[in-house]
Every structure is written in structure tokens, then in C-alpha cells.
Chain A
Amino acid sequence: MNGAAGHEPISRPTPNHSAMPPRNFHRHEARHDGPRAGHVAMPGAPGALLLAGPPAGAGAESLDAHLARLGPAGLHLAPEAILAAIEAAGLTGRGGGAFPSAAKLATARAAVTPPLVVVNASESEPASGKDRLLCQLRPHLVLDGLALIVWAAGAAEAIVHVHRGSDGTIAALRAAADERRQRGVADPRWHITVGPDSYVSGEASAVASMLAGGPPVPFPHRRPLATEGPGGGRPVLVYNVETVAHVAMITRVGPELWAGLGSPSTPGTRLVTVVGAVAEPGRVFEVSGPASVADVLSTAGVPGAPGAVLIGGYAGTWVDGQTALQLPLDAAGLRTVGASLGSGVIGVLPLGACVLAETARLLEFLTAGSAGQCGPCVQGLPILTASAAGLARGRTSRRSQRQMLRLLEDLPGRGACHLPDGAAHLLSSALRASGADADRHRAGIPCPPGPAGGWLAVPRVPARSSR
């Protein structure tokens, strides 16, 4: 467990943003909220933390400060050595899929055509702020990682993909690129592309589809994207921002030291965004060592046991508060309750808040974010949403409950992307975590009303504007 000293956050929030209420935010506002960060750190190895260095309020770390802190990126290494280091480190994708990064890279290297490298900064998970924060505070770490991946994959160029309205991220990356050019850093060619901000458009195959000139929606790929891109074209190697930042760190400090910053099942540090009933919703923490969910919650200012915790993102897993406090925050620990770290979002509900009502709102958001391509997703998600809303209001029929339970079993795996799986899993876990709430609601006893708009803020979805 962590020493008490490790719980010190590295920075206070920027005061002008702390007055923002946790609810009713629009995606636009939320994403322009200044970066806020803290550590749930293991004492003793601060040098290799992504967010070590200047505090969040200081803005982007300059190239000089970056090089003074970490030394040059490992570009002197041969591509094979970079691949070997990533493999030895056991790095997995931090965008949500947790796919082994080395395997993806090896696949791309084996393909006939050199891939297009995409650093995915679109962060379509609405509650997540870590990718934006990395781009804005540690842009050189991200660009180092980009260069390393391009070099290791034998690629010629790269793309940083952001969603609409990411002006802060774009400005930070451009400024960093200028700095690097002036200082003669030999970066590969890369440019920024801007995609829509709907939920599924940030999924890796949706990004690849858009870059190939198609619609920004997931496409069914039977082979890894890293061997064959959309329409059988150029392979696309998509990595999350946090993933490439870790690559930049691994080549510097070495895979052993880096892996030692995590736990056996989740090597390296992990960035989490904590939202909901906490002191500062949206604050990003870098978690290192064998930290637990309880460590993160106490650092985030949650007094005592929460009512329930949503782990992994808005299509994540609900865990009741007591169970959550016992969980280690790593892949092995979370797997025991069917959860995964996903994109690193931790949503906190206070005692007495209605998990079912929150779930209904989240499902409504997910449903609106569906790309509308796959029959079962188009048909099934609205039914799940209505079921959750019905349970929350205490108005359900036996028939609709049977239908819901059937769907929860049938829907997973029935789409081109994992949205139906995620939605079904969200509701399944809500049924467990809410205990007897559904029964009480049916008996006419509601949960005490929460804040207008709920605890977990959901962006307004522009009606199908992304299609």
C-alpha cells in the first residue's frame, strides 16, 4: 500500500476552474476546462512518472525542461530494440482496449506495406481527461513517443487525431512542434486531423475509416488494422496518447524500472480521471505501485465509503461502494468483479444516489452515440435504455424485465464495435451494484433525488450530426 507521503497531489487546481459545477456541463466546456492533475504515487521512483515535472498550473513542459528531466528519447535504439523494450515492459493500450502494444507493432512491422501511425487523441470517452492533459502538459513526451513508434514500425509519417473543439490540444502540440523544429529535433512527418466528437468515432477502426476517406464509424475488420487498413488499403497502427507517452518513458528508463512502477498485472503507471461526487470532478491522477481504488478515492477527496463506483468509463462496470474499497486498481484486481481499467475513468456516486437512474442517463448517451449501423445495436440499445429508466422510476412490467434480461445475454458481440457489449455490461453491473433498489422503487420508495442532470455529467449529443 502507499505511504502517506505519496498521497500528496502535485498541484492545486487552477482556481478559475474549480467553481465549475460537476453537473450539466457540455462537452465543449468540459474539454476546455484547464488541465488538473495529481498523483497517487509510490514513493521513491518519481522520475519515471509521466506527470512528474512542473505542476499542472504551469502549462506545457518546455523542451528544455523535458530534456533536462528525462534526457533524449531512445531514438538511437534500433527498431527491433524498441519493439523488444515495449514487449519486455508488457505495455498494453490505454485507450480502453488494453491490447498488447508490442503485438500490434510486430504485426505492423510484418505487413508488406508500411503502416500509417495514428496517435489517437480524440478521447471520445466523455468523462476522460487524461489524453487531453498529456497533450497539453507533456506534449514532448507524446511527440517523442510518436517518433519512436514511427521509427519502430518502419512508417514514413504519422497523424495525431483529435476531435472537434480540441483547440487547446492542437495549440499545445503545434507549439511543441515549433519548439522541436527550432532546436533541430529530427521528428518524422506528422500532422493533425480533426474528427467528430461522437462516442464511437474515437474507436480505432472508426478513426482508420475516416482517415481512409470513409465515414467516421467503426467498420468490421476481420484482420488486425495493423495488417490491413480500411478497404484493404494501407495498414493503420492506432495508439492512444497515453500509450505512446509510456513508450517514450520505457525507452528512457528501461522496461524493468518502468514495469516496476505498476503492479504485476498492470505494469507501469496508469492515468485515471475521477469524476462524480468528488472534490474536483475531472481531475486526472497518475497511479503507480500497487494502489487500490480506495487510495485513489481518498486522494480525490471522497470521505468514507462511496455509494457505488463506475470503473472503466461510461460503458464500464458498476461496483458497489463497499466492494470497490477492497479492490486493487490493476487488471487482476478489477477482473475479480468483471471490470477493467478501460480508459481509466472512475465515476463516484455518493451513498444514497441511484445507480439505476445514473445508468439510464448513461445508456441514453451511449444509445445516442451509436453509429446506427448494426441492427441489434440500433434495436437493442433503446430497449436497454428504456428498461433502465423504468427500473429507476419503479415502473416496469414482468414482460419488459424478461425482455431486458434476454437482451443482456444476447446483445454482447452483436455489433461491429463493442458498444452493445459495453452497454449491456453497464446495465448488468448496475443491476448487481444497486442491490434491492429496483425492488424498493417498484414498491414506491424512490432514491433521494440527486443533482439535476445526475452525478455523472453526460455531454449533449448533437442528433446524429456526425454521420
Chain B
Amino acid sequence: MTVRVSIDLTRCRGHGMCALLAPETIDLDGWGFARVGTAEVDEPGDARRLRRAAAACPRQAIVVREVPGESTGTTPSVRAPWSAWRAR
């Protein structure tokens, strides 16, 4: 069964609990706010840890929903269009 995760960034205050509990799915950005790597999780263990992280989040900022039906498990990432420009 697949679950889809999103972070409500109006709630997240960067406590970082989630990244400790579900490191496969969530990491923290440079400021410590939660960042979702893979929005859809198939692996039962990952999904279990994700639910634990959602429960542990002091701000209740992690939203986990079940996805009905099949899924690919990943969502395509969007690339920023500055590729023509390089840092020098």
C-alpha cells in the first residue's frame, strides 16, 4: 500500500524530529525545515516510520495519506531552469 506525504510548511517550525524518525523519506533543509525527498512511499517499513514521524511532529505538520490504487513510488522532480547559467 502506498502512502503520500506532504509537509504543511505553514506549521513546520523546524524541530527536526521527523528526519530522525523517517530518514528515508524526510530530510531537513539548511534552516532545519522538513523536506520530502520522495512524495510517495511504497515500502511498508518506510511507511511505518513515516507515520511514526507524523505522530511525533510537535507541530502536526506532516500529512500522510493513503493513495488508492497503484503507484510508481516516485514523483518526478522539477529542475530549476537556470542550467544555462553557472556559478563562477
A residues apposed to B, CB below 8 Å: 219-220, 222, 338, 373-377, 379, 398, 401-402, 405-406, 408-410, 412-416, 424-425, 428-429, 431-432, 439
How distant is the Cα of A338 from the Cα of B82 in the complex, in angstroms? 11
Name the distance in Å between B66's Cβ and chain A's nearest Cβ. Answer: 12
B residues apposed to A, CB below 8 Å: 6, 8-10, 12-14, 29-31, 33, 35, 63, 65, 78-82, 84-85, 87-88
How distant is the Cα of A143 from the Cα of B13 in the complex, in angstroms? 44
A402 and B87 form a contact (CB under 8 A)? yes
A220 and B81 form a contact (CB under 8 A)? no
Contact sample, A vs B, 14 pairs, CB 8 Å cutoff: A220-B8, A222-B65, A373-B9, A375-B9, A375-B33, A377-B9, A405-B87, A409-B80, A410-B29, A410-B30, A412-B78, A424-B80, A428-B81, A432-B82
B81 and A375 form a contact (CB under 8 A)? no
Instruction: State whether A432 and B31 are in contact (beta carbons under 8 Å apart), knowing that A222-B6, A375-B13 are contacts in the complex.
Output: no
Name the distance in Å between A88's Cβ and chain B's nearest Cβ. Answer: 29
Name the distance in Å between B12's Cβ and chain A's nearest Cβ. Answer: 6
Name the distance in Å between B46's Cβ and chain A's nearest Cβ. Answer: 20
How distant is the Cα of A263 from the Cα of B8 in the complex, in angstroms? 38
A414 and B87 form a contact (CB under 8 A)? no
Q: Which of A374, A379, A405, A432 contacts B10 (CB 8 A)?
A: A374
Name the distance in Å between A318's Cβ and chain B's nearest Cβ. Answer: 11
Instruction: State whether A429 and B8 are in contact (beta carbons under 8 Å apart), knowing that A375-B31, A375-B33, A402-B87 are contacts in the complex.
Output: no
Q: Which residues of B contact A409 (CB under 8 A)?
A: 79-80
Instruction: State whether A338 and B29 are in contact (beta carbons under 8 Å apart), knowing that A374-B9, A375-B9 are contacts in the complex.
Output: no
A376 and B29 form a contact (CB under 8 A)? yes
Instruction: State whether A398 and B29 are in contact (beta carbons under 8 Å apart), knowing that A219-B10, A416-B8, A428-B80 are contacts in the complex.
Output: no
Q: Which residues of A contact B87 (CB under 8 A)?
A: 398, 401-402, 405
Name the distance in Å between A28's Cβ and chain B's nearest Cβ. Answer: 29
A376 and B33 form a contact (CB under 8 A)? yes
A375 and B85 form a contact (CB under 8 A)? no
A373 and B78 form a contact (CB under 8 A)? no
Name the distance in Å between A455's Cβ and chain B's nearest Cβ. Answer: 22
With both beta carbons as reference points, the residue of chain A lying nearest to B63 in the complex is identified as A222
With both beta carbons as reference points, the residue of chain B lying nearest to A403 in the complex is identified as B30
Instruction: State whether A414 and B78 are in contact (beta carbons under 8 Å apart), knowing that A374-B10, A375-B12, A398-B87 are contacts in the complex.
Output: no
With both beta carbons as reference points, the residue of chain B lying nearest to A427 in the complex is identified as B82
Known: A220-B10, A377-B9. 20 other contacts (CB 8 A): A374-B10, A375-B31, A376-B31, A379-B31, A398-B87, A401-B87, A402-B87, A405-B87, A408-B80, A409-B79, A410-B30, A413-B78, A414-B33, A428-B80, A429-B81, A431-B82, A431-B85, A432-B81, A432-B84, A432-B85
How distant is the Cα of A415 from the Cα of B29 in the complex, in angstroms? 13
B82 and A408 form a contact (CB under 8 A)? yes
Name the distance in Å between B21's Cβ and chain A's nearest Cβ. Answer: 19
How distant is the Cα of A405 from the Cα of B10 in the complex, in angstroms? 24
Q: Which residues of A contact B82 (CB under 8 A)?
A: 405, 408, 428-429, 431-432
Q: Which residues of B contact A219 (CB under 8 A)?
A: 10
Q: Which residues of A contact B65 (CB under 8 A)?
A: 222
Q: Which residues of A contact B6 (CB under 8 A)?
A: 220, 222
Q: Which residues of A contact B80 (CB under 8 A)?
A: 408-409, 412, 424-425, 428
Q: Which residues of B contact A220 (CB under 8 A)?
A: 6, 8-10
Q: Which residues of A contact B14 (CB under 8 A)?
A: 375
Q: Which residues of B contact A398 (CB under 8 A)?
A: 87-88
In this complex, which of A375, A414, A439 has the most chain B Cβ atoms within 10 angstroms of its Cβ?
A375
With both beta carbons as reference points, the residue of chain B lying nearest to A223 in the complex is identified as B65
With both beta carbons as reference points, the residue of chain B lying nearest to A377 in the complex is identified as B9
With both beta carbons as reference points, the residue of chain A lying nearest to B8 in the complex is identified as A220
Q: Which residues of A contact B78 (CB under 8 A)?
A: 412-413
How distant is the Cα of A432 from the Cα of B30 in the complex, in angstroms? 26
Name the distance in Å between A319's Cβ and chain B's nearest Cβ. Answer: 11
How distant is the Cα of A37 from the Cα of B26 in the complex, in angstroms? 50
With both beta carbons as reference points, the residue of chain B lying nearest to A398 in the complex is identified as B87
